[in-house]
């Protein structure tokens, strides 16, 4: 596909995820690393120098006021997404907003309403949706070749440093397992089966009040089940399985990133598909954003805002079931 324009990308927030995304952005010929912004100018300047951005701002407000900025990647903690996305939208900038999209469904709904009212592009940066390996897995499941999908099993866990001031364990920053990594197993279930009829969930909490581990079971009207797990206190294989009547599809370790897909069929036949990727895999979502902008779209067909709202509403249901609270934000 011949792109009609080279887009000036700006990054709002200069943390680790922004660094990964920006490294992969370099792989796209129609993406220009234009500006980075942080609360401290020195941090933005160091980030810009390391990654190759042309400009650095010590103010988010200054950056979104730059008329040359075409699209902003919001990479701040999800506790700040609501305010930062609205800042960008009100400045007329297209936005790719990192997951979790917001802290609550109410915040997400307002963000979506503003984007739709202003007819400005907004998409959740759920990079997994754009991985060729994940797309292959869904394609096989949806084909019906293995029969009806009956059970999903998905996990994501790692043993994180228990620093009460850092984001993962800091409730004021939206800390906890669910919104940081639990969103991945929830995404795996909603992508294949949609919104569940009922949810059962249990969580354990750290002394900071942030949930450390969470186990979830979704039940669907047709009797399908999804068994999901995430934790900041242990390690897991980080895999996803779609188990069907006549076989199973498994996304291998670090399933949310470029990985292998193994299909096992009743009778013992097994085949593995490999999806090697240049970079880390963030370039796929960025390329999709630019394709949407080229086509004049304000929403993605692959990652529509309706799906993001369904995700946020499901996460709210899980939080109510387990007692996960964000004081002052409910």
The yes-or-no verdict on residue 45 having pLDDT over 70 is: yes
Q: Which letter, b or e, does each residue of 72-101 get, where b requires 16 or more Cβ atoms within 10 Å of its Cβ?
A: bbbbbbbbbbbebbbbbbebebbbbbbbbb
pLDDT of residue 261: 98
The yes-or-no verdict on residue 2 having pLDDT over 60 is: no
The yes-or-no verdict on residue 330 having pLDDT over 80 is: no
Reported as a single tens digit per residue, the pLDDT across 60-72 is: 999 999 999 999 9
- What are the sequence ranges of the domains in the chain? 7-128, 132-276+312-322
pLDDT of residue 144: 97
No. of H helices and E strands in the chain? 10, 14
Q: Which CATH architecture has domain 7-128?
A: 3-Layer(aba) Sandwich (3.40)
What's CA 292's distance to the chain center, in Å?
A: 18
Instruction: Supply the CATH classification number for the domain 132-276+312-322.
Output: 3.30.360.10
The yes-or-no verdict on residue 3 having pLDDT over 70 is: no
Query: Angle 16-25/41-51 helices, nearest 10 degrees?
Result: 30
């Amino acid at each position: 596909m011949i792109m009609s324009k080279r887009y000036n990308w700006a990054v709002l927030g200069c943390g680790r995820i922004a660094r990964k995304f920006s490294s992969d952005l370099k792989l796209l010929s129609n993406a220009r690393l234009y500006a980075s912004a942080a609360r401290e100018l020195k941090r933005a300047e160091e980030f810009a120098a390391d990654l190759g951005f042309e400009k650095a701002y010590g103010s988010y407000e200054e950056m979104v006021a730059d008329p040359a900025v075409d699209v902003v990647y919001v990479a701040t903690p999800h506790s700040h997404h609501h305010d930062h996305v609205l800042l960008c939208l009100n400045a007329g900038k297209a936005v790719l907003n990192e997951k979790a999209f917001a802290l609550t469904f109410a915040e997400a709904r307002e963000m979506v309403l503003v984007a739709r009212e202003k007819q400005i592009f907004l998409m959740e940066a759920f990079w997994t949706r754009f991985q060729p390996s994940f797309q292959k897995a869904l394609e096989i499941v949806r084909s019906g070749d293995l029969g009806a999908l009956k059970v999903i099993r998905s996990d994501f866990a790692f043993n994180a440093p228990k620093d009460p001031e850092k984001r993962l364990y800091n409730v004021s920053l939206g800390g906890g397992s669910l919104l940081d990594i639990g969103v991945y197993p929830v995404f795996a279930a909603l992508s294949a089966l949609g919104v569940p009829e009922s949810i059962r969930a249990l969580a354990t909490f750290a002394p900071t009040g942030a949930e450390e581990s969470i186990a979830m079971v979704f039940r669907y009207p047709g009797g399908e089940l999804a068994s999901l797990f995430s934790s900041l206190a242990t390690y897991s294989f980080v895999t996803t399985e779609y188990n069907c009547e006549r076989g199973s599809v498994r996304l291998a370790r670090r399933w949310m990133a470029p990985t292998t897909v193994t299909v096992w069929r009743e009778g013992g036949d097994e085949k593995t598909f490999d999806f090697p990727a240049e970079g880390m895999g963030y370039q796929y979502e960025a390329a999709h954003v630019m394709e949407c902008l080229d086509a004049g779209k304000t929403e993605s067909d692959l990652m529509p805002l309706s799906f993001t709202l369904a995700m946020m509403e499901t996460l709210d249901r899980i939080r109510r079931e387990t007692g996960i609270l964000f004081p002052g934000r409910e």
